[in-house]
Homo-oligomer: A and B are copies of this chain.
Protein backbone atom coordinates (compact mmCIF):
# COMPACT_ATOMS: atom_id res chain seq x y z
CA UNK A 1 0.00 0.00 0.00
CA UNK A 2 1.32 3.43 -0.86
CA UNK A 3 2.07 5.37 2.28
CA UNK A 4 0.39 8.68 1.60
CA UNK A 5 1.10 10.20 5.00
CA UNK A 6 4.39 11.81 4.13
CA UNK A 7 3.51 12.88 0.60
CA UNK A 8 2.33 16.41 1.43
CA UNK A 9 5.44 17.11 3.50
CA UNK A 10 7.61 15.71 0.74
CA UNK A 11 5.88 17.83 -1.89
CA UNK A 12 6.40 20.90 0.29
CA UNK A 13 10.12 20.20 0.57
CA UNK A 14 10.29 19.82 -3.21
CA UNK A 15 8.50 23.11 -3.99
CA UNK A 16 10.54 24.92 -1.34
CA UNK A 17 13.67 23.39 -2.89
CA UNK A 18 14.84 22.52 0.62
CA UNK A 19 18.00 20.80 -0.64
CA UNK A 20 19.49 20.24 2.78
CA UNK A 21 16.53 18.38 4.31
CA UNK A 22 15.93 16.39 1.14
CA UNK A 23 19.57 15.29 0.96
CA UNK A 24 19.42 14.25 4.61
CA UNK A 25 16.21 12.24 4.09
CA UNK A 26 17.59 10.52 1.00
CA UNK A 27 20.86 9.78 2.75
CA UNK A 28 19.61 8.50 6.08
CA UNK A 29 16.62 6.31 5.35
CA UNK A 30 16.72 2.83 3.89
CA UNK A 31 16.25 2.94 0.10
CA UNK A 32 13.21 0.66 0.45
CA UNK A 33 11.57 3.16 2.81
CA UNK A 34 12.32 6.09 0.51
CA UNK A 35 10.87 4.22 -2.46
CA UNK A 36 7.80 3.38 -0.45
CA UNK A 37 6.91 6.83 0.82
CA UNK A 38 7.75 8.55 -2.47
CA UNK A 39 5.82 6.08 -4.62
CA UNK A 40 2.84 8.44 -4.78
CA UNK A 41 4.83 11.27 -6.40
CA UNK A 42 4.36 12.05 -10.08
CA UNK A 43 7.07 11.03 -12.53
CA UNK A 44 8.43 14.56 -12.68
CA UNK A 45 8.42 15.00 -8.89
CA UNK A 46 10.19 11.66 -8.45
CA UNK A 47 13.05 12.71 -10.72
CA UNK A 48 13.25 16.06 -8.88
CA UNK A 49 13.50 14.17 -5.60
CA UNK A 50 16.20 11.82 -6.88
CA UNK A 51 18.21 14.85 -8.05
CA UNK A 52 19.10 15.51 -4.41
CA UNK A 53 21.37 12.51 -3.97
CA UNK A 54 24.28 10.72 -5.64
CA UNK A 55 23.77 8.56 -8.73
CA UNK A 56 24.61 5.37 -6.79
CA UNK A 57 22.03 6.18 -4.16
CA UNK A 58 19.52 7.05 -6.90
CA UNK A 59 19.99 3.58 -8.36
CA UNK A 60 19.49 1.94 -4.95
CA UNK A 61 16.20 3.78 -4.42
CA UNK A 62 15.06 3.31 -8.02
CA UNK A 63 15.47 -0.48 -7.74
CA UNK A 64 12.95 -0.57 -4.88
CA UNK A 65 10.15 1.03 -6.89
CA UNK A 66 7.59 -1.43 -8.28
CA UNK A 67 8.53 -2.37 -11.82
CA UNK A 68 5.47 -0.58 -13.25
CA UNK A 69 6.62 2.69 -11.65
CA UNK A 70 10.16 2.10 -12.96
CA UNK A 71 8.81 1.80 -16.51
CA UNK A 72 6.81 5.03 -16.07
CA UNK A 73 9.91 6.81 -14.77
CA UNK A 74 11.94 5.81 -17.84
CA UNK A 75 9.42 7.43 -20.16
CA UNK A 76 9.56 10.69 -18.18
CA UNK A 77 13.28 11.39 -18.35
CA UNK A 78 15.98 12.07 -20.95
CA UNK A 79 17.91 9.15 -22.38
CA UNK A 80 21.25 10.50 -21.07
CA UNK A 81 20.21 10.53 -17.46
CA UNK A 82 18.56 7.11 -17.74
CA UNK A 83 21.69 5.72 -19.38
CA UNK A 84 23.84 6.87 -16.45
CA UNK A 85 21.39 5.36 -13.97
CA UNK A 86 21.28 2.03 -15.80
CA UNK A 87 25.05 1.91 -15.73
CA UNK A 88 25.12 1.88 -11.93
CA UNK A 89 22.01 -0.24 -11.30
CA UNK A 90 22.55 -3.82 -10.17
CA UNK A 91 22.72 -6.20 -13.12
CA UNK A 92 19.67 -8.26 -12.23
CA UNK A 93 17.40 -5.30 -11.50
CA UNK A 94 18.31 -3.38 -14.63
CA UNK A 95 17.73 -6.40 -16.82
CA UNK A 96 14.30 -6.84 -15.20
CA UNK A 97 13.54 -3.28 -16.19
CA UNK A 98 14.96 -3.51 -19.73
CA UNK A 99 12.89 -6.64 -20.38
CA UNK A 100 9.77 -4.55 -19.82
CA UNK A 101 10.74 -1.64 -22.10
CA UNK A 102 10.09 -1.39 -25.83
CA UNK A 103 12.96 -2.79 -27.90
CA UNK A 104 13.37 0.62 -29.47
CA UNK A 105 13.86 2.35 -26.09
CA UNK A 106 16.38 -0.31 -25.05
CA UNK A 107 18.36 0.20 -28.26
CA UNK A 108 18.44 3.97 -27.72
CA UNK A 109 19.75 3.49 -24.18
CA UNK A 110 22.42 0.89 -24.89
CA UNK A 111 24.96 3.19 -26.60
CA UNK A 112 24.90 5.42 -23.50
CA UNK A 113 26.09 2.61 -21.25
CA UNK A 114 29.77 1.72 -20.80
CA UNK A 115 30.90 -1.18 -22.96
CA UNK A 116 31.53 -3.69 -20.16
CA UNK A 117 28.08 -3.02 -18.71
CA UNK A 118 26.55 -3.30 -22.16
CA UNK A 119 28.00 -6.76 -22.65
CA UNK A 120 26.74 -7.75 -19.23
CA UNK A 121 23.24 -6.54 -20.11
CA UNK A 122 23.21 -8.35 -23.46
CA UNK A 123 24.35 -11.55 -21.79
CA UNK A 124 21.68 -11.42 -19.08
CA UNK A 125 18.97 -10.42 -21.56
CA UNK A 126 19.77 -13.51 -23.61
CA UNK A 127 18.38 -15.85 -20.95
CA UNK A 128 14.71 -16.69 -21.29
CA UNK A 129 12.31 -15.29 -18.69
CA UNK A 130 11.76 -17.79 -15.92
CA UNK A 131 15.27 -19.26 -16.17
CA UNK A 132 17.94 -19.13 -13.46
CA UNK A 133 19.95 -16.86 -15.79
CA UNK A 134 17.14 -14.32 -15.85
CA UNK A 135 17.21 -13.73 -12.07
CA UNK A 136 20.95 -13.99 -11.38
CA UNK A 137 23.35 -11.11 -10.84
CA UNK A 138 26.88 -10.91 -12.21
CA UNK A 139 28.19 -8.94 -9.22
CA UNK A 140 29.68 -11.82 -7.23
CA UNK A 141 32.98 -11.98 -5.36
CA UNK A 142 35.69 -14.36 -6.55
CA UNK A 143 39.16 -15.38 -5.40
CA UNK A 144 42.02 -17.35 -6.94
CA UNK A 145 42.81 -20.64 -5.19
CA UNK A 146 46.45 -19.89 -4.39
CA UNK A 147 46.21 -16.78 -2.19
CA UNK A 148 46.51 -16.68 1.59
CA UNK A 149 43.63 -15.79 3.85
CA UNK A 150 45.21 -12.42 4.67
CA UNK A 151 45.52 -11.54 1.00
CA UNK A 152 42.01 -12.90 0.34
CA UNK A 153 40.51 -10.49 2.88
CA UNK A 154 42.37 -7.58 1.24
CA UNK A 155 41.06 -8.67 -2.18
CA UNK A 156 37.54 -8.92 -0.81
CA UNK A 157 37.79 -5.47 0.73
CA UNK A 158 38.60 -4.15 -2.74
CA UNK A 159 35.69 -6.00 -4.33
CA UNK A 160 33.19 -5.19 -1.57
CA UNK A 161 31.79 -1.86 -2.84
CA UNK A 162 30.67 -3.28 -6.19
CA UNK A 163 29.54 -6.75 -5.17
CA UNK A 164 26.01 -7.78 -4.23
CA UNK A 165 27.44 -9.96 -1.46
CA UNK A 166 30.94 -10.65 -0.14
CA UNK A 167 29.72 -13.14 2.45
CA UNK A 168 29.90 -15.97 -0.07
CA UNK A 169 33.07 -16.08 -2.15
CA UNK A 170 33.61 -18.35 -5.13
CA UNK A 171 37.00 -19.75 -6.11
CA UNK A 172 37.59 -19.98 -9.86
CA UNK A 173 40.50 -21.11 -12.03
CA UNK A 174 42.03 -19.19 -14.98
CA UNK A 175 39.20 -20.23 -17.28
CA UNK A 176 36.52 -19.00 -14.82
CA UNK A 177 35.64 -22.59 -13.96
CA UNK A 178 34.14 -22.91 -10.46
CA UNK A 179 36.43 -25.02 -8.27
CA UNK A 180 35.48 -24.09 -4.73
CA UNK A 181 33.54 -22.04 -2.28
CA UNK A 182 34.25 -20.14 0.94
CA UNK A 183 32.17 -18.03 3.28
CA UNK A 184 33.50 -14.85 4.82
CA UNK A 185 32.92 -16.54 8.16
CA UNK A 186 35.35 -19.32 7.11
CA UNK A 187 37.90 -16.67 6.14
CA UNK A 188 37.54 -14.74 9.39
CA UNK A 189 37.95 -17.90 11.46
CA UNK A 190 40.95 -19.21 9.50
CA UNK A 191 44.63 -18.50 10.29
CA UNK A 192 45.74 -15.55 8.16
CA UNK A 193 48.61 -17.59 6.68
CA UNK A 194 46.34 -20.44 5.50
CA UNK A 195 45.88 -20.81 1.75
CA UNK A 196 42.41 -20.53 0.20
CA UNK A 197 42.54 -23.86 -1.65
CA UNK A 198 43.27 -25.69 1.59
CA UNK A 199 40.26 -24.33 3.44
CA UNK A 200 37.70 -24.00 0.63
CA UNK A 201 34.84 -26.44 0.09
CA UNK A 202 35.29 -28.29 -3.18
CA UNK A 203 31.86 -29.85 -3.41
CA UNK A 204 29.81 -26.80 -4.46
CA UNK A 205 26.05 -26.97 -5.06
CA UNK A 206 25.29 -25.12 -8.32
CA UNK A 207 22.43 -24.55 -10.73
CA UNK A 208 22.75 -24.39 -14.50
CA UNK A 209 21.94 -21.12 -16.17
CA UNK A 210 19.12 -22.63 -18.24
CA UNK A 211 17.39 -24.36 -15.32
CA UNK A 212 14.01 -23.11 -14.11
CA UNK A 213 14.27 -20.21 -11.64
CA UNK A 214 11.92 -22.13 -9.33
CA UNK A 215 14.37 -25.04 -9.16
CA UNK A 216 17.18 -22.63 -8.32
CA UNK A 217 15.00 -21.12 -5.59
CA UNK A 218 14.24 -24.56 -4.21
CA UNK A 219 17.91 -25.54 -4.10
CA UNK A 220 18.88 -22.36 -2.24
CA UNK A 221 16.01 -22.89 0.18
CA UNK A 222 16.90 -26.52 0.74
CA UNK A 223 20.46 -25.74 1.83
CA UNK A 224 19.64 -22.47 3.64
CA UNK A 225 22.17 -20.69 1.42
CA UNK A 226 22.65 -16.93 1.18
CA UNK A 227 23.31 -17.29 -2.54
CA UNK A 228 23.66 -20.06 -5.06
CA UNK A 229 26.18 -20.00 -7.93
CA UNK A 230 24.96 -20.28 -11.51
CA UNK A 231 27.20 -22.07 -14.03
CA UNK A 232 27.13 -22.66 -17.78
CA UNK A 233 27.51 -25.98 -19.60
CA UNK A 234 31.29 -25.94 -19.04
CA UNK A 235 30.88 -25.38 -15.27
CA UNK A 236 32.10 -21.80 -15.64
CA UNK A 237 30.70 -19.38 -13.07
CA UNK A 238 28.38 -16.89 -14.82
CA UNK A 239 26.41 -15.45 -11.91
CA UNK A 240 24.82 -15.91 -8.50
CA UNK A 241 21.22 -15.85 -7.30
CA UNK A 242 20.90 -14.23 -3.88
CA UNK A 243 18.44 -14.98 -1.07
CA UNK A 244 16.42 -11.80 -1.62
CA UNK A 245 15.82 -12.66 -5.26
CA UNK A 246 14.74 -16.15 -4.22
CA UNK A 247 12.18 -14.62 -1.89
CA UNK A 248 10.93 -12.46 -4.77
CA UNK A 249 10.73 -15.51 -7.05
CA UNK A 250 8.77 -17.39 -4.41
CA UNK A 251 6.33 -14.54 -3.85
CA UNK A 252 5.85 -14.16 -7.60
CA UNK A 253 5.25 -17.87 -8.04
CA UNK A 254 2.83 -18.00 -5.10
CA UNK A 255 0.86 -15.07 -6.54
CA UNK A 256 0.83 -16.68 -9.96
CA UNK A 257 -0.40 -19.99 -8.53
CA UNK A 258 -3.13 -18.35 -6.47
CA UNK A 259 -4.34 -16.25 -9.38
CA UNK A 260 -4.39 -19.26 -11.70
CA UNK A 261 -6.50 -21.13 -9.20
CA UNK A 262 -8.86 -18.22 -8.81
CA UNK A 263 -9.02 -17.63 -12.53
CA UNK A 264 -7.44 -14.20 -12.82
CA UNK A 265 -4.75 -13.13 -15.25
CA UNK A 266 -1.84 -11.81 -13.14
CA UNK A 267 -2.13 -8.07 -12.65
CA UNK A 268 1.20 -6.38 -12.11
CA UNK A 269 -0.07 -3.19 -10.55
CA UNK A 270 -1.50 -2.76 -7.07
CA UNK A 271 -5.10 -3.86 -6.81
CA UNK A 272 -6.58 -0.44 -6.09
CA UNK A 273 -4.23 1.47 -8.43
CA UNK A 274 -4.95 -0.46 -11.61
CA UNK A 275 -7.24 1.22 -14.16
CA UNK A 276 -10.88 0.11 -13.88
CA UNK A 277 -11.38 -0.65 -17.57
CA UNK A 278 -8.15 -2.66 -17.77
CA UNK A 279 -9.17 -4.78 -14.79
CA UNK A 280 -12.73 -5.09 -16.09
CA UNK A 281 -11.51 -6.23 -19.51
CA UNK A 282 -9.27 -8.93 -17.98
CA UNK A 283 -11.83 -10.15 -15.49
CA UNK A 284 -14.73 -10.05 -17.97
CA UNK A 285 -12.71 -11.92 -20.57
CA UNK A 286 -12.01 -14.67 -18.12
CA UNK A 287 -15.54 -14.87 -16.69
CA UNK A 288 -17.07 -14.80 -20.18
CA UNK A 289 -14.83 -17.61 -21.36
CA UNK A 290 -15.84 -19.65 -18.33
CA UNK A 291 -19.49 -18.77 -18.88
CA UNK A 292 -19.37 -19.91 -22.49
CA UNK A 293 -17.68 -23.14 -21.40
CA UNK A 294 -20.29 -23.64 -18.70
CA UNK A 295 -23.03 -23.31 -21.35
CA UNK A 296 -22.23 -26.94 -22.15
CA UNK A 297 -23.94 -27.89 -18.88
CA UNK A 298 -27.12 -26.52 -20.46
CA UNK A 299 -26.54 -28.52 -23.63
CA UNK A 300 -25.86 -31.66 -21.62
CA UNK A 301 -28.94 -31.17 -19.45
CA UNK A 302 -31.13 -30.35 -22.46
CA UNK A 303 -30.22 -33.69 -24.02
CA UNK A 304 -31.64 -35.40 -20.95
CA UNK A 305 -34.79 -33.29 -20.90
CA UNK A 306 -37.05 -36.31 -21.45
CA UNK A 307 -35.72 -37.89 -18.29
CA UNK A 308 -36.31 -34.66 -16.35
CA UNK A 309 -39.84 -34.33 -17.82
CA UNK A 310 -40.56 -37.88 -16.65
CA UNK A 311 -39.11 -37.45 -13.15
CA UNK A 312 -38.73 -33.81 -12.16
CA UNK A 313 -37.12 -34.82 -8.85
CA UNK A 314 -34.00 -35.84 -10.81
CA UNK A 315 -33.28 -32.20 -11.61
CA UNK A 316 -33.20 -31.28 -7.94
CA UNK A 317 -30.00 -33.31 -7.40
CA UNK A 318 -28.06 -31.80 -10.30
CA UNK A 319 -26.20 -29.13 -8.26
CA UNK A 320 -25.27 -31.75 -5.67
CA UNK A 321 -23.81 -34.10 -8.30
CA UNK A 322 -21.93 -31.27 -10.00
CA UNK A 323 -20.42 -29.95 -6.78
CA UNK A 324 -19.29 -33.44 -5.77
CA UNK A 325 -17.17 -33.67 -8.90
CA UNK A 326 -15.85 -30.14 -8.42
CA UNK A 327 -14.93 -30.56 -4.76
CA UNK A 328 -13.28 -33.97 -5.08
CA UNK A 329 -11.44 -32.83 -8.20
CA UNK A 330 -10.09 -29.64 -6.71
CA UNK A 331 -9.07 -31.42 -3.53
CA UNK A 332 -7.02 -33.96 -5.47
CA UNK A 333 -5.59 -31.31 -7.82
CA UNK A 334 -4.50 -29.10 -4.92
CA UNK A 335 -2.75 -31.93 -3.13
CA UNK A 336 -0.87 -33.04 -6.22
CA UNK A 337 0.00 -29.52 -7.37
CA UNK A 338 1.41 -28.71 -3.95
CA UNK A 339 3.29 -32.02 -3.78
CA UNK A 340 4.83 -31.17 -7.17
CA UNK A 341 5.77 -27.68 -6.02
CA UNK A 342 7.45 -29.04 -2.90
CA UNK A 343 9.24 -31.73 -4.90
CA UNK A 344 7.51 -34.58 -3.02
CA UNK A 345 6.21 -36.12 -6.24
CA UNK A 346 7.35 -35.97 -9.86
CA UNK A 347 5.65 -36.79 -13.14
CA UNK A 348 7.46 -40.11 -13.37
CA UNK A 349 5.51 -41.27 -10.31
CA UNK A 350 2.19 -40.85 -12.18
CA UNK A 351 1.29 -44.52 -11.95
CA UNK A 352 1.78 -44.62 -8.19
CA UNK A 353 -0.35 -41.49 -7.90
CA UNK A 354 -3.04 -42.98 -10.16
CA UNK A 355 -3.23 -46.18 -8.13
CA UNK A 356 -3.31 -44.20 -4.90
CA UNK A 357 -6.03 -41.85 -6.14
CA UNK A 358 -8.13 -44.66 -7.65
CA UNK A 359 -8.27 -46.31 -4.25
CA UNK A 360 -8.80 -42.97 -2.56
CA UNK A 361 -11.56 -42.05 -5.02
CA UNK A 362 -13.34 -45.34 -4.30
CA UNK A 363 -13.07 -44.82 -0.55
CA UNK A 364 -14.21 -41.21 -0.76
CA UNK A 365 -16.97 -42.11 -3.22
CA UNK A 366 -18.30 -44.81 -0.89
CA UNK A 367 -18.39 -42.30 1.96
CA UNK A 368 -20.29 -39.65 0.01
CA UNK A 369 -22.51 -42.26 -1.66
CA UNK A 370 -23.63 -43.47 1.77
CA UNK A 371 -24.59 -39.95 2.84
CA UNK A 372 -26.37 -39.39 -0.49
CA UNK A 373 -28.35 -42.62 -0.11
CA UNK A 374 -29.68 -41.61 3.29
CA UNK A 375 -30.60 -38.11 2.17
CA UNK A 376 -32.24 -39.22 -1.12
CA UNK A 377 -34.28 -41.91 0.66
CA UNK A 378 -35.68 -39.18 2.89
CA UNK A 379 -37.00 -37.14 -0.07
CA UNK A 380 -40.61 -36.18 0.74
CA UNK A 381 -43.33 -37.94 -1.27
CA UNK A 382 -44.63 -34.61 -2.59
CA UNK A 383 -41.33 -33.80 -4.24
CA UNK A 384 -40.81 -37.31 -5.55
CA UNK A 385 -43.90 -37.45 -7.71
CA UNK A 386 -44.26 -40.91 -9.22
CA UNK A 387 -40.66 -42.06 -8.69
CA UNK A 388 -39.75 -44.98 -6.43
CA UNK A 389 -37.86 -43.49 -3.46
CA UNK A 390 -35.49 -46.48 -3.09
CA UNK A 391 -34.67 -46.51 -6.76
CA UNK A 392 -34.02 -42.78 -6.64
CA UNK A 393 -31.78 -43.19 -3.58
CA UNK A 394 -29.85 -45.91 -5.41
CA UNK A 395 -29.39 -43.73 -8.49
CA UNK A 396 -28.25 -40.69 -6.49
CA UNK A 397 -25.81 -42.62 -4.30
CA UNK A 398 -24.28 -44.50 -7.22
CA UNK A 399 -23.99 -41.32 -9.23
CA UNK A 400 -22.34 -39.41 -6.37
CA UNK A 401 -19.87 -42.23 -5.81
CA UNK A 402 -19.02 -42.50 -9.51
CA UNK A 403 -18.65 -38.75 -9.93
CA UNK A 404 -16.44 -38.51 -6.83
CA UNK A 405 -14.16 -41.24 -8.19
CA UNK A 406 -14.07 -39.53 -11.58
CA UNK A 407 -13.33 -36.10 -10.06
CA UNK A 408 -10.55 -37.50 -7.88
CA UNK A 409 -8.83 -39.28 -10.75
CA UNK A 410 -9.14 -36.35 -13.18
CA UNK A 411 -8.03 -33.89 -10.48
CA UNK A 412 -4.94 -35.91 -9.63
CA UNK A 413 -3.84 -36.79 -13.17
CA UNK A 414 -4.26 -33.36 -14.77
CA UNK A 415 -1.55 -31.53 -12.77
CA UNK A 416 0.90 -34.30 -13.70
CA UNK A 417 -0.16 -34.16 -17.36
CA UNK A 418 0.13 -30.36 -17.43
CA UNK A 419 3.56 -30.48 -15.83
CA UNK A 420 4.69 -33.16 -18.29
CA UNK A 421 3.52 -31.01 -21.21
CA UNK A 422 5.40 -28.03 -19.84
CA UNK A 423 2.41 -26.07 -18.51
CA UNK A 424 1.92 -24.84 -14.97
CA UNK A 425 0.31 -27.72 -13.02
CA UNK A 426 -1.72 -25.08 -11.16
CA UNK A 427 -3.98 -24.82 -14.20
CA UNK A 428 -5.49 -28.15 -13.16
CA UNK A 429 -7.29 -26.30 -10.37
CA UNK A 430 -8.58 -23.83 -12.90
CA UNK A 431 -12.31 -23.30 -13.41
CA UNK A 432 -12.03 -24.70 -16.96
CA UNK A 433 -11.22 -28.08 -15.56
CA UNK A 434 -14.09 -27.60 -13.09
CA UNK A 435 -16.42 -26.95 -16.02
CA UNK A 436 -15.24 -30.11 -17.72
CA UNK A 437 -15.94 -32.07 -14.53
CA UNK A 438 -19.37 -30.37 -14.27
CA UNK A 439 -20.41 -31.44 -17.76
CA UNK A 440 -19.08 -34.97 -17.44
CA UNK A 441 -20.75 -35.17 -14.02
CA UNK A 442 -24.14 -34.42 -15.57
CA UNK A 443 -23.57 -37.08 -18.18
CA UNK A 444 -22.56 -39.67 -15.58
CA UNK A 445 -25.56 -38.81 -13.41
CA UNK A 446 -28.20 -39.04 -16.14
CA UNK A 447 -26.63 -42.12 -17.71
CA UNK A 448 -26.96 -43.94 -14.38
CA UNK A 449 -30.47 -42.54 -13.93
CA UNK A 450 -31.48 -43.77 -17.42
CA UNK A 451 -30.22 -47.26 -16.57
CA UNK A 452 -32.45 -47.67 -13.53
CA UNK A 453 -35.42 -45.40 -13.98
CA UNK A 454 -36.34 -45.20 -17.64
Q: Which residues of B contact A324 (CB under 8 A)?
A: 287, 291, 294
Does A28 sit at the interface, judged by CB under 8 A?
yes
Asked if A189 and B203 sit within 8 Å, CB to CB, the answer is no
Asked if B364 and A284 sit within 8 Å, CB to CB, the answer is yes
Q: Which residues of B contact A203 (CB under 8 A)?
A: 28-30
Q: Which residues of B contact A352 (CB under 8 A)?
A: 272
Residues 370-427 of A at the B interface (beta carbon under 8 Å): 371-372, 375, 379-380, 383, 400, 404
Asked if B302 and A383 sit within 8 Å, CB to CB, the answer is yes
Q: Taking the nearest CB of chain B, how far is it from the CB of A227, in angstroms?
A: 10
- Contact segment of A100-108, A218-226, A232-240: A218-226
Also in contact, A438 and B323, with CB within 8 A (given A203-B29, A308-B315): yes
Asked if A264 and B334 sit within 8 Å, CB to CB, the answer is yes
Q: Which residues of B contact A246 (CB under 8 A)?
A: 247
Also in contact, A287 and B368, with CB within 8 A (given A221-B247, A263-B327, A360-B279): yes
Q: Which residues of B contact A17 (CB under 8 A)?
A: none
- A294-310 Cβ-contact flags toward B at 8 Å (1 or 0): 11011001100100110
CB closest chain-B residue, reference A267: B335
- For this chain, the copies found in one complex come to 2
Does A356 sit at the interface, judged by CB under 8 A?
yes
Asked if A323 and B185 sit within 8 Å, CB to CB, the answer is no
Asked if A431 and B330 sit within 8 Å, CB to CB, the answer is yes
Asked if B333 and A262 sit within 8 Å, CB to CB, the answer is yes
Does A312 sit at the interface, judged by CB under 8 A?
yes
Asked if A1 and B294 sit within 8 Å, CB to CB, the answer is no
Q: Which residues of B contact A342 (CB under 8 A)?
A: 251, 255
**How many Å lie between the Cα of A333 and that of B161 in the bound state?**
45
Does A254 sit at the interface, judged by CB under 8 A?
yes
Q: Taking the nearest CB of chain B, how far is it from the CB of A103, in angstroms?
A: 30
Q: Which residues of B contact A345 (CB under 8 A)?
A: 1, 271-272
Q: Taking the nearest CB of chain B, how far is it from the CB of A262, in angstroms?
A: 2
Q: Taking the nearest CB of chain B, how far is it from the CB of A335, in angstroms?
A: 6
Does A429 sit at the interface, judged by CB under 8 A?
yes
Does A20 sit at the interface, judged by CB under 8 A?
no
Asked if A367 and B284 sit within 8 Å, CB to CB, the answer is yes
Partner of A336, one of B263, B271, B333: B271
Does A166 sit at the interface, judged by CB under 8 A?
yes
Q: Which residues of B contact A247 (CB under 8 A)?
A: 220-221, 243, 246-247, 250
Asked if B255 and A287 sit within 8 Å, CB to CB, the answer is no
- A346-375 Cβ-contact flags toward B at 8 Å (1 or 0): 100100110010011001100110011001
CB closest chain-B residue, reference A441: B319
Asked if B259 and A257 sit within 8 Å, CB to CB, the answer is no
- Listed by A's residue number, 24 A-B pairs whose Cβ atoms lie within 8 Å are A30-B203, A36-B222, A156-B188, A157-B189, A166-B188, A167-B167, A243-B243, A258-B334, A262-B333, A263-B334, A264-B331, A276-B356, A279-B360, A280-B360, A280-B363, A298-B320, A301-B315, A301-B319, A302-B379, A308-B316, A309-B312, A312-B312, A323-B434, A326-B431
Query: Lowest 9 CB-CB distances: which A-B pairs, in order?
Result: A262-B334, A271-B339, A224-B244, A297-B319, A315-B315, A254-B254, A270-B344, A243-B243, A301-B316
